[in-house]
Every structure is written in C-alpha cells, then in structure tokens.
Amino acid sequence: MPNMSPTKVPMPQQEPDIRNKNFEEVATGYTEEMAIEEATRCINCKHKPCMTGCPVNVPIPGFIEQVAAGNFEAAYEIITSENALPAICGRVCPQENQCEGKCVRGIKGESVSIGRLERFVADYHMKHGKKQTLDVKPNGKRVAVVGSGPAGITCAGELAKKGFEVTIFEALHKAGGVLSYGIPEFRLPKALVAKELENITDLGVKIETNVVIGRSLTVDDLFDKGYDAVFLGTGAGLPNFLRIPGENLLGVYSANEFLTRVNLMKGYKKGEVPTPVKVGKRVAVVGAGNVAMDAARTAKRLGAEEVYIVYRRGAEEVPARAEEVEHAKEEGIIFKLLNNPVKIHGEDGWVKGIEVVEQKLGEPDASGRRRPEPIEGSNYIIDVETVVIAIGQSPNPLIRQTTDGLETQKWGGIIIDEETGESTRKNVYAGGDAVTGAATVILAMGAGKKAAKAIAASFEE
Amino acid sequence: MYKILKKEVMNQAVLLFEVEAPYVSARCEAGQFVIVRVDEDGERIPLTIADYDREKNSVTIVVQTVGYSTKLMEKLEEGDGFLDFVGPLGQPAPLQSSWKKVVGVAGGLGAAPLYPQLKKLAKMGCEVDVIIGGRSAEFVLWADKFAEFCKNVYIMTDDGSLGGKGFVTAKLEELIASGAGYDHAIAIGPLIMMKNVVLVTKKYDLHTAVSLNPIMIDGTGMCGGCRVTVGGETKFACVDGPDFDGFEVDWDEAMKRQTFFKEEEHECMMKLES
C-alpha cells in the first residue's frame, strides 16, 4: 500500500535565526527513515509523467522504488545511469517546474519530493558507496570541452563513457563554473561539488585550469592541436548593469563580483583569506532571481543588518524559486517589490543610498509579464552602504570575437542546431547558458548530454 | 605550478620574475596582462606583462611588494613556482604603424609594462624616446634596457639622485615645448602620474595612451570590478583595455575606485607582519 499522506516528509533545516549567521547548509537532508517514508508516497503510476519533466531523463520511479526498499546503492546506480551530478541536482534543480511539477500526487496535495530523494541517494553514496570503475575502450577521438560548469562537465563525462579522450579547459583556477564561483556554500557545499567533479575525472577526463579559450588558445588552435570536436559550455558570465547614475560608486558590486569574492575566493572565511569583501550595515540587492536571493542571503550572513531585495515588478513576477524566496524571507530579507532603481546616491565617492520610484503593473509586455509603470512623484531613497546588481548575465564575447564562422544572436547567445547542439561552425558544439542566456544547471546539463550524443553519433561509422 | 626561471631583486620594493608559462608566451603581445596566484586561498593579482620569450616559453613580470600577496612573492625563489598564472588577458596595445615619433613616459614600476610597447614600436620603425621617473636613483628601472632601442633616454628623480630633479611631467613639457615633434605619447605609472601627464599632453593636443590596472578578480569580463569611465561610457579594463585614450579617462573616479578595499588590505597586512 502506498503512503497516501498528502504532504511531503518535511526537510530538516537549520533554524532561520541561526543559519543566517553561518555558511553551513540550510537544509540538512533526510535520514534513511525519512527517505523510505517519502519514497513510499510514489504510487509508481503508469505514465511516469515525472520523467518527461526531467531534462536528463532520470528513471525517477525506478530509483524511488529502490529507495522505498532500502536499496540506496541500487537507487544511486539508476540515477547515475542518466545524471552524473545527483548531489548537485538534488539541491539546485527547480523540481517544482520539472519532475515534481508533473507528479500525479501533486494534483491532490503535494508531489513526491523527488529532489530531496535524489539528494539523499547521492549523499548516501558519498558516505557509504564504493568508487565505480568503468572499463571503456578508447575510440581514438579527442574532444576539447571549453568551460567546466554543468554543461561542460556533463558533456565531458558522457563522451568519456563512450571512449573519447576529453580535456576540459577552464579559465579560472578552479573547476566547476557557476557551481564554484556562483552558488553559495549554504546552498551547495563546495566539498560536494569537488566530489562530483572527481567522478568525472575518474572517467579519465582531464581538466586544465588557467586556460582562457579566446585568449590563451583559440578554437582554431584546438583543432590544430588535433582535437576532433569542440564543445563550448562557456556559460553566461558577463554581468549586466542598470546603466543608472552612480553605478561606479564605491560599494556597488555586480552579483558576479560579490558572489565570486565570497565563494570562489572564499571570502566567507572572513579574516582567514586575503580576498576582501566589504559589506555595509545596509545592503540593497537589485533583482529578484535566484542569484539575487543568493546575494541577499550571503550579505546577511556576512553581517549586514538590513538587506533589501529591490525589484521593479510584483510578487507574481519574481523569477526566483519559491523555496529560495521563502528561505530569504525567513532569514529576514526585506522585499521592496514594485520599486525601480533610478539613481545610486553617493557621498565622497561612496554609496549612501539608492533612489527608487514606485511602480504599478500595466498590460503584459513581450515577456508575457505585466509591464511595470512608474508612479509619478513616488521617488524615495533607501539608505544603504552597499548595492549588489543582480539583474542577469550575458554570454562572454571572448570566443565569438575570436572564432570565424561561429554565429551568435544579437545578444551574444551562440546559434545552434536544436537537434544536435552543433553551431554554425562544423564540429563545434555548444550548450547551456552560452546558448540560452542565464538559465538553470539542469538545462545546461541536458544540453551537454545532447551534444555528447550528437558528437558520438557524428564519429560513428 | 608555473616554474620561476629567474628572480631578480630590482630594488627594495620591486622584484622581477621570469616564469615558465607556455600558453601565455606563445600568444602574448605588448600591453596584455596575466593574473597570478601565489598559493591556495591566495588573491588573483593582475600584472601587465613586462617581457616575453617565445623560444624559452617564458613571461617576465615585475612586481612591487606593497600588499599581502606581493609580500608573499618575496619568499619565492628560482625553481619555486606560482600556483596559477593565466593569460594573456586584455587587448594588445593599439600601436599604429603610422606613428613616426613617440615618447614613452614611465613612473616607477610603470617602466616594466612600457618596455615591450616601446620595443615593439622601435621594431616597427618608429623613433622612440623615453622619460623614466622614480623616487630616487634605485627606483629608476631599466634605463639600460630602454637605451638599446630608444634614441633618447631621459631620467627624472624626485631627489635629483639620478638625471634631472623633479617629475617626469616637467621633462615631458620641456621636450614638447622645445619642438621634439612627437605624434603620440604612452604613459604608464601610478594613476596620479598618468593623470598629470595627460594634463600636459592635452595642452599640446598630443594623443596619449595609458595603461590601467584596477581592482579585478577574473580578468575575463566576469566580475565587472574593473569598471572605468572612458569618454562617458563604462568600460571593463580587463577586456576593453587595459590601454585607453588618456584624454577620455575619468581619472578622479579611477583613483577613488582604487581605494575600495584599503581598510581590508591594511588589516591583512597587519596579520602578515604580526
């Protein structure tokens, strides 16, 4: 008999007032008993709609069945047959819009907590599992993967399993892309990212850090060096700014700079590392996506007393995951919705406030969201010492500027064949945020996987 | 590890390292920079390339030991290595073959990044003069190396211990006013020195390139920390520069931005010294 409880087994978490002062993980994870109980909520329905919601096609009911039976290692093998980064996906995937959004249990009550179960299985394996060894016959073909974020590592792992010799080139000193520099420790512990990366290098994938493709080497150089194909998983790393007066005052960061200082450069270990992070008593984060939530919650943890999310649209339009918004509110982040920043005020070169104008919502715009319109004369200043701009990122132009025949959209996204991921340049494939603009980890992984399949097929004779 | 092939103590505050870095040496051009890290948890330090040898796979950097990470570099010896060394970053200096006579102006450490630019210009057939400034004789860098291809090497020191007494700007103005006939200037040094050079060259409408080295993390356009206002527009020094038209740079903003982390840097140094 399936467990017909209408609600998920709750996730154990640190209390908000404790966790907003530390960088340890917010959610502490299911116990074995909790996982089994939650897994029995899956009714193993005929059509498996959850799987159609998964960009990497994890056989979800199959792994949940094994969890329910207490066969956690078997569950791990099922997940990793399709998904090389389960500990990461279990934590940062927007399951509510994907697998869980399609779950039949969600029609009357809450869906099965597929994400929490995936995370449990991955964490269980890290603690108890044995390293898997894979005996693959090399096929003599070499692929260069540019960027070691979710798209790149997934593509590399899949290709290695098929016998390709794969080298990943990473511009920074550390692999992982946004998983390392962007997503904070309290949401995605870096030790865990390192472990899942190790699974990829165990397959024989080489990672060369400190190589900027487009500068240290070009795409043409890679072919000259004998690579048969190239996959571009370079992400969307170029920060957008508001283009309002005062953006170059001291105390204004892009979310990229702020989060990179804290995560990649370990600024969260204040006083132990030389990379400085300066945070005022009052902080305004502009934007309301997941990156904005990460920045606001990070600022709070670094000691800011008042942290605001400043967003020009309304609550309905907030692009961040509901869970992230919830966590941010619990931790004391103040939401200033329908407030559009128009100027950053300074004194002697330093930020002292952000001027906003209140908005009302009009008719839907091109994005389908209701267009915010200013309310004349409603301007006011929020007193802050730090402003973090988190209004999105664009693809980095270094590769498109140095690669002949690689066509991009006007806004910089690489143009690809939707079926194969191949770009307008032969044997150059691309996927992830470099193609779509800033999106999610799992969509990038799906794109990396699709390209790996197409690359393998193109060399099969 | 990026092996240190040669270390040279140039004076009490300046060190030279020749480092094995094949990717950088194969492609770098005058004006570009690298980012180095000494150890795990270390800062990413941007440094403009002072010289390179494609046959030896080596790149030369010159460092002023003023901050926490550069102080750590003092302890590195030949045979040791840097943990990270990435590049070449930024755009090559936009040197024009139409220039007939160029004056380079170097302040202190600025002589090192100026060197490959003037050397390349000389190779391109341009007549090159250089004015090198320093606090005192020992802070005047590479006068002998510049002499190998510069027609005139002028030296200025604050205390008059070598060359003329006074600032490089005084010598520059004297040369321009006396009809030296320069069609371009390149100034590299502390921000205040470059600002003052531009004040002089603007008067004579002598176009002046400058090289900026602002606070940055990645050096590839990702953090945006290196924002600088040029001609009223925000540019990223790491990908749009580091060389810019000196007439167009907002110097006061650039100097202010350089002080963002002064307090934190001070705390860090105190720790190192204790």
Say yes or no: B263 contacts chain A, CB-CB below 8 A: yes
Biggest alpha carbon–alpha carbon distance for chain B: 54
What residues of chain A, 194 to 233, have a C-beta less than 8 Å from chain B? Answer: 209-212, 215-217
- Sort out which chain B residues have CB atoms less than 8 A from A211's CB and list them: 23, 86
Give A421's contacts (C-beta < 8 A, 6+ positions apart).
A231, A429, A430, A431, A435, A447, A450, A451, A454
- Sort out which chain A residues have CB atoms less than 8 A from B223's CB and list them: 239, 254, 256-257, 260
Q: Of 3.90.1510.10, 2.40.30.10, 2.30.110.10, 2.30.130.10, which CATH number belongs to B2-89?
A: 2.40.30.10
Residue A213 has pLDDT above 90, yes or no: yes
Please write the tens of the pLDDT for every residue from A203-212: 999 999 999 9
Of the candidates B222, B229, B253, the beta carbon closest to that of A256 is on B222
Please write the tens of the pLDDT for every residue from A232-249: 999 998 999 999 999 999
Say yes or no: B240 contacts chain A, CB-CB below 8 A: no
Residue ranges of the domains in chain A?
16-128, 142-237+394-458, 241-391
| CB of A23 closer than 8 Å to CB of A189 | no
pLDDT in the model for residue A150: 96
Say yes or no: B215 contacts chain A, CB-CB below 8 A: no
| CB of B215 closer than 8 Å to CB of A252 | no
pLDDT in the model for residue A222: 97
- Are B87 and A216 inside 8 Å of each other by CB? yes
CA–CA gap between residue A431 and residue A231 (Å, rounded): 8
Residue A244 CA neighbour count, 13 Å, CB half: 17
Closest to B3 (Cα-Cα) out of B17, B24, B23: B17
Say yes or no: A177 contacts chain B, CB-CB below 8 A: no
Say yes or no: B102 contacts chain A, CB-CB below 8 A: no
Say yes or no: A171 contacts chain B, CB-CB below 8 A: yes
Q: How many CB atoms are closer than 10 A to CB A323?
A: 17
| CB of A160 closer than 8 Å to CB of A117 | no
Torsion of CA A39, A44, A49, A50, to 10 degrees: 20
Beta bridge partners of B165: B157
CATH node for A241-391? 3.50.50.60
CATH node for A142-237+394-458? 3.50.50.60
Q: Is A286 exposed, middle or buried (0-12, 13-18, 19+ CB in 10 A)?
A: buried
Please write the tens of the pLDDT for every residue from B131-157: 999 999 999 999 999 999 999 999 999
Closest to A320 (Cα-Cα) out of A332, A308, A311, A330: A311
Give the full edge-to-edge strand order of the sheet including B45-48: B45-48, B33-37, B84-89
Please write the tens of the pLDDT for every residue from A153-194: 999 999 999 999 999 999 999 999 999 999 999 999 999 999
> For residue A397, what are the CA distances in angstroms to A407, A409, A410, B40, B112?
12, 11, 11, 29, 29
Residue ranges of the domains in chain B?
2-89, 93-204, 212-274
- For residues A45-72, give the mean pLDDT: 96
Closest to B43 (Cα-Cα) out of B63, B13, B18, B21: B63
pLDDT in the model for residue B1: 92
pLDDT in the model for residue A461: 62
Residue B66 has pLDDT above 90, yes or no: no
- Sort out which chain B residues have CB atoms less than 8 A from A173's CB and list them: 37, 44, 83-84, 86
CATH node for A16-128? 1.10.1060.10
pLDDT in the model for residue A117: 98
Closest to A395 (Cα-Cα) out of A232, A238, A289: A238
Please write the tens of the pLDDT for every residue from A352-390: 999 999 999 988 888 888 889 999 999 999 999 999 999
**Pair of tokens at residue A419:** 């079926």
pTM score above 0.80 = yes
Closest to B86 (Cα-Cα) out of B18, B137, B36, B30: B36
Residue A129 has pLDDT above 90, yes or no: no
pLDDT in the model for residue A271: 79
Closest to A80 (Cα-Cα) out of A65, A58, A60, A101: A58
CA–CA gap between residue A331 and residue A22 (Å, rounded): 11
Residue A287 has pLDDT above 70, yes or no: yes
* DSSP label at residue B139: G
DSSP-assigned states of every residue in A133-186: -------S-EEEEE--SHHHHHHHHHHHHTT-EEEEE-SSSSS-THHHHTS-TT
Decide if A142-237+394-458 and A241-391 have a common fold.
Answer: yes
Q: Of 3.30.1780.10, 3.40.50.10470, 3.40.50.80, 3.40.250.10, which CATH number belongs to B93-204?
A: 3.40.50.80
Mean of pLDDT over chain A: 95
Residue B271 has pLDDT above 80, yes or no: no
Residue B267 has pLDDT above 90, yes or no: no
Closest to A99 (Cα-Cα) out of A35, A29, A30, A48: A48
